[in-house]
Amino acid sequence: MESNMAMNTDMYPLYIGGKRVETNKIVPVFHKYTGEQIASIAWAEQCHVEEAVSCALQTFRDSTLAPYERYEILLKASSIAEQRREELERSLCREVGKPRKDAKGELDRVINTLRLSAEEAKRISGEMVPLHATEGAENRIGFAIRVPRGVIGAITPFNYPLLLSTHKVAPAIAAGNTVVLKPAPNTPIASFQLVEILEEAGLPQGYVNIITGGAEAGEWMLDDPRIAMYTFTGSEAVGARIKERSGLRPVTLELGNNSPNIVHSDADLGKAAGALAARSFHNAGQACIAVQRIFVQKDVLQEFTNKYLAHVQQLVVGDPEDPATDVGPMISEKEAIRAEEWVHEALSEGAELLYGGKREGAMMYPTVLAKTRPEMKVNCLEVFAPVVTISPYETIEEAFTIANNSAYGLQAGLFTSDLNIAMQGARKLEYGGVIINDVSTYRNDVMPYGGIKNSGLGKEGPRYAVEEMTELRMVVLNL
């Protein structure tokens, strides 16, 4: 089917019920490496948010898409995304500043997530409830079914705009919901591309509606009681506000982290150093499970550090559209300046610079620090930049303790050849995911993904997101 979104233009109005909606305010979108303007987006007012919710609600009430149809649409969307790979990868390079190899990885995961979500559309089921186990219910039959919640309010961040929109929208469709999607205003193009792909695959207009705007648009979404559930990926502060304002409505929150990665003395140091160096600066460190804190058993600290730095020194920094580039710019010069200030603050308080520390505009070069303290910002807060600290520990128990000394709890990495230590880590590390012999950054889209403590609530991953986006309804037959 032909979309009304008209993606052959660099102007992106709001998209509500299959219609392009113009607004009074227009905001530019910039190439994150060159700084040139690459697009413009409409800026929503409250009336537009209300219109989008109304459209989503009416579409939900009128919905006739059966599970097999949702399966077919999502599966076809995955094929279309594959066919448009070159275009989508280049777009991510431009609007996010993501190196080409990272953009390829994001596209691979988008395609896989669409396929996984398609499969989940066919697996939604219920369960029998043995009412006859209690006296007086001999003639009753009970069963529970899963039903869609209704309108899902989805708010996505800048760092993985296509993938994280897919992780919210595709399971919502699989579950039978409709969506009001608010992408990050500095990386909105990917969301429009996703909806265009879904509608080309056969999704009726009105199922996904796009609102672009600032924080006030998110507030207006929270004000609307017709939104049945909120799913958000972003900062801890915004997540806490969503939880506070959502009342009794369910929320899924994927928030911050300062990911610890433990390298024990019995680990394969070459493997650990290579894996950690490769993923420490992925997407310029702008991932909530990016490697941030590396803890190394003191007997192998120097050997590991030498191996790690040897890998880091090979990383190519530069134009994200150059296939050789490993590390591109951060999302903005403002964020790069913040990261640089945190590094300078740590150095002024006694930290040692092992590598990097250089900034040019929005480009923060890979930076490695040693001799830091837990209370320094580069350790206790989410740095969200290509900045890593390396610290020693004595015993594995101490490593678990210092790794857990965090307000966050999303994912942790542990390198060891000892199965007992691996299982201790699985039990003792206070994180939603514990990755053994790989980095904290590892995420397979089929797995349950979500943190504890200040890292959020609920789980993503298509199967688990479908559970979050449906509710259990009890049915009793009195015969």
Question: Which residues are catalytic, by number?
Answer: 254, 288
**DSSP assignments along 7-42, one per residue:** TTSSEE-EEETTEEE--SEEEEEE-TTT--EEEEEE
Task: Return the axis-axis angle of helices 67-83 and 161-175, rounded to nearest 10°.
Answer: 160
The first and second tokens of residue 253, run together, are 């929150």
**Cα–Cα distance list, 180 to 112, 169, 193, 248, 432 (Å):** 23, 9, 15, 19, 28
Tell which residue, 71, 3, 6, 12, has the closest CA to residue 39. Answer: 12
Residue holding tokens 């032909």? 2
CA distance 131 to 319: 64
HEC string of 375-418?
CCHHHHCCCCCCEEEEEEECCHHHHHHHHHCCCCCCEEEEECCC
CB 416 within 8 A of CB 395: no
Type and span of the H or E element at 121: helix 100-121
The first and second tokens of residue 396, run together, are 């594995």
From its phi and psi, is residue 18 left (phi > 0), alpha (psi between -120 and 50) or beta? left
CA distance 411 to 431: 5
353: three-class secondary structure by DSSP? strand
217: three-class secondary structure by DSSP? helix
Type and span of the H or E element at 228: strand 227-233
Type and span of the H or E element at 155: strand 151-155
CA distance 135 to 181: 49
Residue holding tokens 């206070």? 430
